[in-house]
Amino acid sequence: MSTGPVRLDEVWAFCMARLDDEEAAARRVGYDRIEAVGYLWGTKHLLLLRDDGSEPKTTVELDADLADHITQHGPARVLARTAFLRSVVLAEHEPVLVAAGDGRETAPMVVCRVDGDDCSVTQGFAALYNEHPAYKAAWRP
């Protein structure tokens, strides 16, 4: 069963929505920074900090590797990463409407301004979220 050509505007919108999801999740955490402090028997304590200087609500004790991962991918990092991806990667590959013709007729067509009608960057970005229920297998690069 043919699903037809990939609609890059749909793929691009899907990618933007996933960044919106990640940004919203980072904001819901309620802390600006998460820092790892104090090793004890292979565990680390995470200190949850706010940029306004208010005291953290709690510290969390976790396996050292998990604590390191969380501190490297805390809310501030997620917000910076989503802003970068949105403003550089996806902005560069935002679909545009162009006139396309087959010699006799001209019809509007949505294409990537960089890669035309086959944007491996946008499709590859979408594939990072291939387990999301809205992801379509036809979008695979």
| 134 and 98 part of one domain | yes
Asked if 55 and 114 sit in the same domain, the reply is no
* 60 & 3 share domain: no
At residue 93, φ and ψ (nearest 5 deg) are: -105, 20
Within this chain, do residues 117 and 138 fall inside the same structural domain, yes or no?
yes
Looking at the structure, do residues 35 and 60 belong to the same domain, yes or no?
Answer: yes
Cβ burial of 15 (10 Å; 0-12, 13-18, 19+) is: buried
Determine how β-strand 95-101 pairs with β-strand 59-63.
unpaired
Record the tokens describing residue 126, joined without a space.
């979408």
- Could you say which of 38, 73, 108 is where a domain stops? 73
Instruction: Please check whether residues 68 and 90 belong to one and the same domain.
Output: no
pLDDT of residue 4: 55
Closest CA to 71 of 33, 42, 24, 31: 33
Q: Find residue 124's DSSP bridge partners.
A: none
| pLDDT for residue 41 | 59
Task: Check whether residue 96 and residue 110 sit in a common domain.
Answer: yes
- Can you give the length of the chain in residues? 141
Give the residue numbers spanning the domain of 17.
1-28+79-141
Is 18:90 a contact under the CB 8 Å cutoff? no
Q: Do residues 132 and 18 lie in contact, with contact meaning Cβ atoms separated by under 8 Å?
A: yes
- Does one domain contain both 60 and 106? no
**Statement to judge: residues 83 and 139 lie in one domain:** yes
What pLDDT sits at residue 21?
A: 96
Domain count, the chain: 2
Q: Are residues 131 and 96 in the same domain?
A: yes
Which of 18, 41, 73 lies at the terminal end of a domain, its last residue? 73
Q: What is the pLDDT along the chain (141 residues), one digit of tens a residue?
A: 335 567 888 999 999 999 999 999 988 887 777 777 766 656 677 777 777 766 665 677 777 777 788 878 888 889 999 999 999 888 888 887 777 666 676 666 777 778 777 788 999 999 999 999 999 999 988
Does residue 87 share a domain with residue 54?
no
Residue 135's pLDDT is 96
- The pTM of the full predicted model, rounded to 2 decimals, is 0.77
Tokens of 80: 């910076």
Report the distance separating Cα 65 and Cα 71, nearest Å: 10
50 with 97, same domain: the answer is no
